[in-house]
Structures are given as C-alpha cells and as structure tokens.
Amino acid sequence: MDGGGERLDKALATLLPEYSRNRLKSWVEAGAVTVDGKVTKARFMLRGGESIKVFPQEMPEQFAFSPEEIPLDVVYEDNSIIVINKPVGLVVHPAAGNWRGTLLNALLFYYPELKNLPRAGIVHRLDKDTSGLMVVARTAEAQTALVRQLQERTVSRRYLAWVWGSTPSQGKVLASVGRDQRDRLKMAAGVTQGKPAATQYRRLAQGHFQEQAISLLECRLETGRTHQIRVHLESLGFPLIGDPVYRKKIPGIAKTLGFERQALHAFALGLAHPETHQAMAWFQLPPADLMTLQEKLNLSETDLPNASATIHSISNQN
C-alpha cells in the first residue's frame, strides 16, 4: 500500500473501516498484523509500498451471548419468572473483562428461549461479590411488568450488611449516586450528575472485633443504583467489611479479620407476580462465608436477638 508517513494503526483504520480502532489495535498487539512479514507495533511508521497482512482474531465479546453450562441455584421458577440465589463471584451481565462465565451465559444454557429477550430477561443486578436473590423474566410481558415494578419502587429488596463502626439504630440515606469524578472505576455519593438514590437501614446487631465496633444492618433499597448500598454506607463512615473498593474508614485490623469481599447479601425479595399479580416473597440464608463471619464477630443469640430473629425467620421460610 501507499500510506507513507502514516502510522500503522491509522492506516488500518482507513483500510478496514468496518472494524473499530480498538479491535484493530488489539490484533496488532496480538501479533495478528504483519508488515512485510514482520510483527510490529501499532505506532510503526509506514514508508509506503509495504505489504500489510491482517489475520482477523475472534474477540472475547463475540462469546458474550453464548450459552455456558454454569451451575445455577434456582429458588423458584414458573412460565413467567425465575428466581435465582446468585453465588459470590458470578458476574451478572457480560462486559469488558468478563465476556464469558456470567449469569447471562448460564441462563441461555438452561433457558434457551431467553435469547429472544433483551439481556436474556435480566431486569436488575447484583455486584459480582454480592450474593443473594435475583428475579429474571421468561417472557417479554413479564420483563415489561417487572421493569415497571422496579421503576415504581414496588419490588422489595432487602439486604444484610456487616459494617465497620457503631451505626445509629436506624436511618435513611438520600444521596445521589454517580461516577466518581476522581476515579472513574468507582461510584460516589452526592455527585452533582448522579441519579437520585435512597437506602433505608436498621441495625440488627452490634458487636466487636478486637475492640473495633461492628454493626449488622438490614438495608432496604428504594432505588437500584450501581454500588448503592456500598457507596451510601461508606458516605456515612460505615464501610462494608471486606469491601475492596469503598474503604475510606476501614480500621487497621481489617486484614486480621481475613474477610476479602464485601459482606453483603440480598436475603429477601418481594414482588407482584407479573401474570397472576399475586404477592410473592422469597428469603435466602447468607452463604457459608458470611455465616462463619457472623460467628467470628460474636453476634450471638443472647446478645443480638434482632439479628438472630431475622436469620432464624429466613431459615424457617426456606
């Protein structure tokens, strides 16, 4: 080709406009582009007249909507909805860095008909390392109805959150949540360009770990913003135990506790069935790591009747 005095990546963008610049650059970096038979860099300056060969590579996002046999803990299902107990470590929806191995991939394996629905019927999300209950639609009508309930704030979502610090007995956080202007990988509370967000909480129990106060909270979401509970509680000075991101006031003994994911579990879900309109509710005990944490923090039945009653009631309803 000609292209003398032009960088390789820019020349490729001109020659192959059907591909994004990021994709072309990734092919160059993967050694799938040669200039006169040699692998080079995206910034390589062409003289003109070189022979450029491109060997297109499969991109990870091509597998984003591929079925995968990933175990699912299905709590309830009928012709309209599926309720799932999401485990820790499972990403809900494919995105950069997680194009495979997601809840969406698993849903497409067990429920192939979901390929006809936007986001395979997913109407809300949990963070990768947050465990607990989620509802998924199986029909377009059910998805529309569930989205409407979420918008109208009639879906009940309740979480157990173990936090550092001695919290008030109850409260409500009203603070917008949006992208942190100083760190685009994080969310922040009170951001001017953020979306309105509301979280109610009540303290179920108090305890200590090496003289550091600990509180167990029940949180109720009125809105469903990204990282909402984590951001709201950190803004009050009560970061979640184990949270790897929102940890401004985590005490120095945090590493001693040895819990390395946010201590957050979606234990209760309530909604009106999208077809029958019947009120339905599900409850799910925390996974083993949180139950072990509960014991380690000495949140016992004798000292903590509220917490014991909540977890006991969940157990009775499973």
Residues with catalytic roles: 127
Which residue is it, tokens 């990768």?
A: 128
Could you write out the three-class secondary structure of 59-92?
CHHHHCCCCCCCCCCEEEECCCEEEEEECCCCCC
Provide CB contacts within 8 A for 152, sequence distance 6+: none
Give the closest residue to 176 by CA, choosing from 125, 222, 232: 232
Look up residue 182 and give its DSSP letter: S
Residues 29, 31, 32, 36, Cα dihedral to 10°: 120
Q: What angle do CA 293, 210, 199 make, to 5 degrees?
A: 55
Residues forming beta bridges with residue 161, ordered by sequence position: 217, 264
CB 276 within 8 A of CB 143: no
Amino acid at 168: P
- Return the beta strands (E) in the chain as ranges: 33-35, 38-39, 52-54, 74-77, 81-86, 131-137, 156-164, 170-174, 177-179, 187-189, 198-209, 212-221, 264-272, 279-283
CB 147 within 8 A of CB 123: yes
CB 128 within 8 A of CB 90: yes
